[in-house]
Structure 1
Amino acid sequence: MTKAREVLVIGGNRYVGKRVIDRLLAAGDRVTVLNRGSSPPPPGAVHAIADRNDGTALAEAIGTREFDVVLDQVCYTPHQAALARRVLTGRTGRYLMTSTVEVYEHEHSAPLLTESAVDPASVAVDLDLPWQDAEFLEAHYGEGKRQAEAVFTAGGPDLPFASVRVAHVLGGADDFTGRLGHYADRIRTGAPIAVPPEVHPATYIYVEEIADLLSWAAGEDFTGPVNAASHGLLTLDELCTAVAAHFPEGKAVFEVTEAAEVSPFAFRRRYAMDNSRAAGLGFSFGEAGQWLPRAVAETLGKDL
């Protein structure tokens, strides 16, 4: 009989996170969910309460427990990474961090970016930047994730570390971002959709697929970054077509602008990741074009 794993999930108790927790529990894992107490975990999980920005509180909440794997869903800064690394080094067999495609925001080296385009071992860490400032953090989301990966990577063999760089997530009736709703409102009413002069395609991933991947990754032993994106690029036109299918009287009207603020997913550069490393490790990705209609229908509360 396989021994149940001890899994610590830090944050992420909604949307993708709750799906991952449900999958871990269904697999028989003993799951502890650590957050600030704002929401209880699903039945069957242990609840640990602490502010992950407080190293003392984090250590007290964990106590003397050890884990087979830590899944960190809400690490956004090198400070947060440094605290977690200090508390959990030697206490877990593996540390798995949910990262983002935004780590590649300054990379233009290839049509599809492999993980080597951003090597966390070579990323400079600057703890003196104002990471506690919410406005700064929002404007430097990708940089915060890059530096957090770098801090964990520097932990070496005493803290085996992997990161999952997640593409833009679509789907689910509980999508809280409002991004597809933005397009639904404009297409339904004929309001203009602001786009830059050149709009680039991107890689995406279905919400159920990324939950599958994270729960799968928690049981693997690879280290280093892996890209998580469905097969195939999606263009903004394809997204709008999928939304417009639910509003036959509506129309997508694009308005080109040089302004900094444009519509969601109207990318000025390619956000496209190569997923071959994760596929080679054994994860089977779906085709973005196949799940897109289902993802849009779920989010908009429509029937297919």
Structure 2
Amino acid sequence: MKSALILGGTQFVGKRLVQLLLNEGIEVTIATRGITADPFGDQVIRLKISREDAESLKQAFQDKSWDVVFDHTCYSSKEALGTFKALEGKIGKYVFTSSQAVYHFGTNHKEDNFNPLEYKPTLKGRREYSGYVGYQEAKRAAEAILFQHAQVPVVAVRFPIIIGKDDFTNRLKFHVDHVKCGKAIFIEHPDFRYSFIDSEEAASFLLMIANSDYQGVINPGSSEDISLRELVTLIEDQTETKAILQSEGDPSPYNLPGSWSIDTSRAKSLGYRFTSLNQLLDQLINFYHLE
């Protein structure tokens, strides 16, 4: 890979990925709405696009080509189709940031539990999807569009919950702050189980999978999962403070109507390794506790 287009690249995992690509000497182009600033100065080429306007994509990508595109900002079937058409003949590989949300709620989902080649997507814009169910449909539909129509290798990386010191959502930090400050938390289903991945390892995985011959769908992340009850216990142990769990508390941002975890054995079989979940959580809980 000598050149890469990143749709996004100004926040969280995308920003980490840009830096990794630059470290490798790869020519990087980032395509965004031009709203969020980035720290890369003249090291990157910038294009201004709107994912909701297919014509803006055609104009921005005209007379250009890249070895790989990393798509971080696709949230609808129309966006997937518009991007695919605008990049037709201009790229060698498509790496799509998908989600474990493509699966039904449950634990230890394997990649074969959702097949995008068998899914019939409805063309919709991002504003036509709402809530978790809408997010799930959008990611399923986007995968289906790409795998059913693309003429180049496609990889859909089905990330679990991404955490890290640079996590702007502050969802894990919410739990640490509430426990150490004695604020009540409402956890609706404390025994539902969840999978996680470190943000640094997520970016590294995207780079490695792009440089590999792999195509298809894949689940990366720590091999273990954890319940919110177990997560709170880890926080209690680190902060030496008893959590206050009650229905009148602030709702946990991890409150979901089902378990949400994946089987990462395929990635492991390909030689990829991720930090164990307990080690990862211990490090981050300690980081937030000491802030």
Q: Give the 3-state SS of the residue equivalent to 2:208 in structure 1.
A: helix
Q: Considering only aligned residues, what root-mean-square deviation do their CA atoms show, in Å?
A: 2.3
Alignment of 1:107-186 (within 5 A): 107-108=105-106, 111-127=107-123, 129=124, 131-133=126-128, 136=130, 139-156=133-150, 158-172=151-165, 174-186=166-178
How far residue 176 of structure 1 moved from its aligned partner, in angstroms, is 1.3
Alignment of 1:230-269 (within 5 A): 230-245=222-237, 247-248=239-240, 250-255=241-246, 262-269=251-258
Counterpart CA distance in 1 for 2:224 and 2:67 is 34
Q: Residues 297 and 15 of structure 1: is their aligned pair in 2 closer, same or farther, counting only changes over 3 Å?
A: farther
Identity of aligned residues (%): 29
Match in the other structure for 1:295? 284
Gaps of 5+ in 1: none
Q: Residues 225 and 12 of structure 1: is their aligned pair in 2 closer, same or farther, counting only changes over 3 Å?
A: same
How far residue 107 of structure 1 moved from its aligned partner, in angstroms, is 4.9
Match in the other structure for 2:34? 37
Q: Give the 3-state SS of the residue equivalent to 2:278 in structure 1.
A: helix
Counterpart code for 2:29:
T
Counterpart CA distance in 1 for 2:275 and 2:170 is 24
Q: Give the 3-state SS of the residue equivalent to 2:91 in structure 1.
A: coil
Counterpart code for 2:79:
Q
Per-residue CA shift, 1:197-250, capped at 9, x if unaligned? Answer: 5521211111111111111112122111100121211221332234335543x3
Per-residue CA shift, 1:268-304, capped at 9, x if unaligned? Answer: 4221111122222232222111121212334x2627x
Q: Residues 198 and 274 of structure 1: is their aligned pair in 2 closer, same or farther, counting only changes over 3 Å?
A: same
Preserved CA contact (<8 Å) 2:21 2:28: yes
Per-residue CA shift, 1:61-100, capped at 9, x if unaligned? Answer: 1221111110001111101100011111221111110011
Gaps of 5+ in 2: none
Q: Give the 3-state SS of the residue equivalent to 1:140 in structure 2.
A: helix
Counterpart CA distance in 2 for 1:301 and 1:38 is 32
Counterpart code for 2:33:
R
Preserved CA contact (<8 Å) 2:195 2:221: yes
Correspondence 1:279 to 2:268: yes
Counterpart CA distance in 2 for 1:87 and 1:289 is 43
Match in the other structure for 1:11? 8
Counterpart CA distance in 1 for 2:105 and 2:120 is 16
Counterpart CA distance in 1 for 2:253 and 2:237 is 19
